Amino acid sequence: MRHTPPLQVTYQNDGTQMIPDNCTLCPLHKERTNIVIGTGDLHAAIMFVGEAPGEQEDLKGDPFVGPAGKLLDKLLHKAGLKRKDVFITNVVKCRPPGNREPTPEEIHMCSPFLRKQIQAIQPRVLVTLGRVATQRLTFQFGAMGDLLSNPNLTYTYREDAPIPVLALYHPSYLLRQGAALRGKAKPLFLDAVARLKRATEYQQVG
C-alpha cells in the first residue's frame, strides 16, 4: 500500500489555505492552469463534492463554472439553495487532461485535501455528484443506480462521526441525457431536485 508523502500545507478553517500553490503530488499538476480548491460557505451545512475540474474550472480556478455548473445552479435554485450558502469542491483539485476520469492514484494523492476540507467545514450532509465522488466518499463500489437507491450512504473517516451522503447523478451526465433537460432527462432532473430538497432538511437540524 502506497503512503501519501507529508504535505506542506497549513490546515486552517479556510479552504483556500489547504493546498500549496505549487502542489506536485500527482501528474495532474503538469497541465493544470489553476488548482480548483472549492468555493462557498466555510460553515455550510451542505457540502457538494464533484469529480474533477473541467476546462472552464481550470481556467477560472473555481468549481462548477462551465456547462455542468450552470445546470448545478439550476438544481440549486429549484431546491431553494444558493451557491453562497453551500460549499462546492471536487474529489481532485486539478483538471485531468481532456476531462478524463481521475486515476485511482490521482484520487489517492489528493484525498487528504478533501478529507481536511470535510473536517474543517463539518457539513451536516455531503451531496456527491456522480459515481466517482459517491464511491470515493462512501467506499461503496456499486453502479450509480444502486448507489442512488441506497438510503444509508455515509462518509466515515476513522473516529469522526459519520456524515450522511446524498448521491446525485453528475450534472454532466444529466446534460448528456438531453438538451434543455426535456424528454428522458426531465425525470432525472426532477429526481435530483427532490433529492436536493431532502438535503436542505439538514440545514434546519440542530
Q: Which residues bind ligand URA (CB under 6 A)?
A: 50-54, 57, 63-64, 66, 68, 90, 172
CB of 51 to ligand URA, least distance (A): 4
Cβ neighbours of 1 (radius 10 Å): 3
CA distance 37 to 57: 10
Nearer to ligand URA, 57 or 106 (CB): 57
Closest CB to ligand URA: residue number: 50
Greatest Cα pair distance in the chain: 49
Nearer to ligand URA, 40 or 63 (CB): 63
Selection from 193, 194, 176 nearest residue 185 by Cα: 176
CB of 129 to ligand URA, least distance (A): 6
Nearer to ligand URA, 52 or 181 (CB): 52
CB of 52 to ligand URA, least distance (A): 5
Nearer to ligand URA, 46 or 160 (CB): 46
Cell of 92: 481532485
Cβ neighbours of 81 (radius 10 Å): 21
Residue position matching grid coordinates 457540502: 47
CB of 158 to ligand URA, least distance (A): 26
Quick check: 171 and 72 in contact, CB under 8 A? yes
